[in-house]
Structure 1
Amino acid sequence: MTAPVGIVLVSHSAELASGLRRLVEQISSEDVPLTATGGTDDGRIGTSYDLVLKAIEGADRGGGVIVLPDLGSSVLTARTVLDDHPRPDVVIVDAPFVEGAVAAAVTAASGADLETVVAAAKEARNVFKL
């Protein structure tokens, strides 16, 4: 069996990140490593370099990791972490936060590789709701 692809959810809000994590856990599989981080080190709205780095490390099981930020500074913080700790198997993905997370998790649960999980998250941008 191949190592699963991990997923990191990065938000400005700890509540938003943990809420999305709970949703994705219910839809996905417990075999998919999923971490969520939001807010600053002292619990305010914002993002934390150290918390993002720790979340990436926590989601890594050897199959690669995708990082899904919500917006603005969470994107900048995630990019900075990845610039400081470059790895070809850790990828930031430009995808809708909720839909991308669900698509990535379902795809990762099927045993897909990193490239396929990244593609699934990106494709979620084109899914119509109505």
Structure 2
Amino acid sequence: MTGAERDAEPGLVGIVLVSHSARVAEAVAELARGLAVGGPHAPMAPVAAAGGTADGGLGTSAESILAAAREVDRGAGIALLADLGSSVLTVKALLADDELPAGSRLVDAPFLEGAVAAVVAASAGAPLPAVESAAAEAYTYHKT
């Protein structure tokens, strides 16, 4: 059973975190899941990391993004957050070629803060537009 399948509620928006690094994608997914947990019986949105290349290097793999999207697809839409450069371009290409599941969206949001906000909103049962909005709102977080 994968991380996205474990404890994931049906009908919730899925989240895919696309990074140039498998370790970064997994760490952000772990942090977001940990901060979204509301208790032992609280729903958890499905979250999958798609990081690095097939050979374990830095880069972006369209195949891993597609696999992660299929893994988290529960029919309520998929929010994809990408870190930079080719990860954004690869997601855009997959969307343009209609290769991702229906209802998939690239979310314009900061990677870490946006991921946490997206997973929290999705786990609370928010629909895809609200998940996208919550993630994008992370751009307004000020630290001073």
Normalised to the residue count of structure 1, the TM-score between the two structures is 0.94
**Structure 1 Cα separation of the partners of residues 102 and 70 of structure 2:** 14
Following superposition, which runs of at least 4 residues in structure 1 exceed 4 angstroms of deviation? none
Deviations 1:67-104 (A, max 9, x none): 00000000011111111226651100110000000111
Query: Which of 3, 8, 11 matches 1:3?
Result: 11
Per the alignment, residue 92 of structure 1 pairs with: 106
Query: Which of 22, 28, 40 matches 2:36?
Result: 28
Matched, 1:121 2:129: no
**Structure 2 Cα separation of the partners of residues 129 and 117 of structure 1:** 22
Matched, 1:48 2:56: no
Letter in 2 for 1:20: V
Q: Across the two proteins, how many residue pairs are aligned to each other?
A: 130
Query: Which of 54, 67, 77 matches 1:64?
Result: 77
**Counterpart contact for 1:2–1:111, Cα < 8 Å:** no
**Structure 1 Cα separation of the partners of residues 122 and 141 of structure 2:** 18
1:2 deviates by 7.4
1:126 deviates by 0.6
Normalised to the residue count of structure 2, the TM-score between the two structures is 0.85
Q: List runs of 5+ in structure 1 lacking aligned partners.
A: none
Deviations 1:37-68 (A, max 9, x none): 11111111000010111111111111100000
**Structure 1 Cα separation of the partners of residues 120 and 15 of structure 2:** 11
**Counterpart contact for 2:19–2:52, Cα < 8 Å:** yes
Q: For 1:4, what is the secondary structure of its paired residue?
A: coil
The alignment yields a C-alpha RMSD, in angstroms, of 1.6
Letter in 2 for 1:38: G
Query: Which of 4, 7, 16 matches 2:24?
Result: 16
**Structure 2 Cα separation of the partners of residues 5 and 24 of structure 1:** 14
What percentage of residue pairs aligned between the two structures are identical?
47
Q: Which of 56-65 and 26-35 deviates more?
A: 26-35
